[in-house]
Amino acid sequence: MQEQIPPILRPEKVKPVGLATLAGRFSLSGEAEPSVFMTGISMNTNDLRAGDLFVAMPGLKTHGAKFALKAKELGAVAVITDAAGKASIESEFSDFQLPILTIENPRAHLGDLAAFVYGNTSSDRPKIFGTTGTNGKTSTTYLLEAIARQLGEITGLTSTAERHIAGEVIVSRLTTPESPEMQALLARMKERGATSIAIEVSAQALTQLRVDGIYFDVVGFTNLSHDHLDDYRDFEEYLTAKAELFTKKRSSKGVISLDSVFGSDFAAKSEIEFVTISSNASVAADWRVKVTEQAFDRTVFELTNGSGVIIRSWVPLLGVHMAANAGLAIVMLLQAGFSAAAVQTAIANGIDAYLPGRTELVSKSGSPAVFVDFGHSPDAFEKTLEAIRAVTKGRLIMVFGADGDRDASKRPEMSRVAAVGSDVLVITDHHPRFEDPASIRKTLMDAARSARPELELYEVSPPEAAIRKAVSIAKPGDAIYWAGPGHQDYRDIRGVRTPYSARAEARAALSEHGYQ
């Protein structure tokens, strides 16, 4: 059986929706039989279940209408498509029989259709929070969910790493699934009693309409830096894609971090009411995050505003940027109506969050400190290197590789930042996909040598050998920062997801060299 990535999660019970009701609500053309009722919606026959509405849309290579007969055989009760799709179905399948309704550009309506089918348009829905930005989306989403849980909320979460449903944890593979699956997931969370839901929102999710049909109570912006310029022409287009989250049709209130140079540009594009936050003392902002203590396993901070509010806590994570993410999450909750006093009481003894693969310490005392991290951009490298440097007495050794078939323009800058910020650099492979890994490594090696000719530099492939090289030259008191793999449990090699765990490999390397 083909693996579903991410797992398809739907509510256990759905109140049937009449096709005629749906047709009236969305001004669909065609004959909507009053006797037809739907319990789900799908755009993909691999996920289609009996009782579903099948939405057949034009694609890059083919039209979804070609799969209409298969959808019918799987139990679809009706089809929504465009005029071209209807003509195709009627010409190819002469005895199709299922109702076919039409609306032009069905993808533009898909999220709203799915929200209606799954009952996500009612006023008794959970509070919904969305976070966008180049880096820190996942961390902020996890921290917000953790704080909400400590406030007594029943929580849901959807992120790059995991889905959470009232305490149930499911591993995920995509930051944001397609809108029918997202709406089904929200309905499942609501069914399980969720009162607050935290959603990580990528630029691609906004561009590809994957969060359509969701209205966010509060949204947050972390930062913007060099990434995904294979999907967007330049920084302006990339920023504009993310700013779509801060429009009146999508959200009510916002919180904008001014910690990146694009913060003020992003604020200028916001259509909604917002407040600002910064961890930079020289930047004027409504809220300020100040780090008061740093250690390998925690960062202590205080959050203040001009009205005298002070909230003190700590995160079980390393770095000023992680405290800044926590501050953003707190202010988002305050914007949603939670009181500062309640938040302070809830997190007085720290924020109880586990962030898989985010500067995750996988070693024990007495050995070199080894951090496995998902960072894969120059800005992420710089912030994490600074954070590890601040608590490391010995040398800082970095291991990293670059994604194949992804934004190649950031590779030289990634390597430059890595070379400047580390004492020893080990360049290896990551997800080569269909690129030649040796060619990717050469680009990284050349950029590192150019940035720091005197640097102790190694090229080691595959990554299992690279982490062992790093451990072999490290001593207690040193730190190893392995950037890229983070929480992921596979490597993509020529389209094949090869099982692989950076955490397990790092621990094995430590054990082989005599450490716990």
User: Which domain CATH number covers 73?
Assistant: 3.40.1390.10
Determine the Cα–Cα distance for residues 440 and 387; give it in Å rounded to an integer: 27
In a domain, 6, yes or no: no
Q: What is the pLDDT of residue 3?
A: 41
Determine the Cα–Cα distance for residues 303 and 330; give it in Å rounded to an integer: 9
Q: Which CATH number is 430's domain given?
A: 3.90.190.20
In a domain, 226, yes or no: yes
| Residue 421: closest CA among 396, 394, 450 | 396
> Of 77, 98, 117, which residue sits at a domain end?
117
Q: What are phi and psi of 256, to 5 degrees?
A: -120, 125
List pLDDT tens digits, range 293-310. Answer: 999 999 999 999 999 999
Q: What percent of the chain has pLDDT over 70?
A: 97
Residues 201 and 338 in one domain: yes
**What value does the mean pLDDT of the chain take?**
94
Residues 458 and 431 in one domain: yes
Q: What is the pLDDT of residue 407?
A: 86
CA geometry: angle at 322 spanning 320 and 328, to 5°? 105
Structural domain span for residue 338? 127-346
| Residue 56: closest CA among 88, 33, 21 | 88
Q: Please give the tally of structural domains in the chain.
A: 3
Residues 44 and 88 in one domain: yes
Confidence of residue 157 (pLDDT cuts 50, 70, 90): very high
Confidence of residue 2 (pLDDT cuts 50, 70, 90): very low
> Of 346, 377, 400, which residue sits at a domain end?
346
Residue 143: CB atoms within 10 Å: 28
Structure tokens at 494: 């020529």
Structure tokens at 92: 């190819």
In a domain, 274, yes or no: yes
In a domain, 1, yes or no: no
Q: Which CATH number is 193's domain given?
A: 3.40.1190.10
Residue recorded with tokens 């007969």 = 69
pLDDT over threshold 70, residue 6: no
Residues 338 and 404 in one domain: no
Q: In whole angstroms, what separates CA 114 from the centre of its chain?
A: 21
Residues 377 and 396 in one domain: yes
Question: Is residue 457 within 8 Å of 449, Cβ to Cβ?
Answer: yes
Residues 99 and 175 in one domain: no
Query: Which residue did the predictor score with more confidence, 23 or 356?
Result: 23
Mean pLDDT value of segment 324-339: 98
In a domain, 3, yes or no: no
pLDDT over threshold 70, residue 125: yes
List pLDDT tens digits, range 225-262. Answer: 755 566 667 888 989 999 999 999 999 999 999 999 89
For the purposes of burial, counting CB atoms within 10 Å of the CB of 444, is it exposed (0-12), middle (13-18) or buried (19 or more)? buried
Residues 204 and 310 in one domain: yes
Residue recorded with tokens 């780090």 = 291
Residues 260 and 296 in one domain: yes
Residues 99 and 227 in one domain: no
Q: What is the pLDDT of residue 174?
A: 57
Structure tokens at 400: 């990293």
Q: What is the pLDDT of residue 77?
A: 98
Q: What is the pLDDT of residue 227?
A: 59
Residues 85 and 145 in one domain: no
Residue recorded with tokens 């909604």 = 272
Mean pLDDT value of segment 459-487: 96
DSSP assigned state of 65: G
Residues 394 and 315 in one domain: no
Residue 202 CA: distances (Å) to CA of 81, 209, 217, 245, 435: 27, 11, 17, 10, 25
Residues 403 and 376 in one domain: yes
CA geometry: angle at 445 spanning 443 and 446, to 5°? 65
In a domain, 184, yes or no: yes
> Of 346, 371, 390, which residue sits at a domain end?
346
In a domain, 10, yes or no: no
Q: What is the pLDDT of residue 7?
A: 55
Which positions ≥6 away from 371 have C-beta within 8 Å?
318, 359, 360, 361, 362, 384, 388, 479, 480, 481, 482
In a domain, 4, yes or no: no
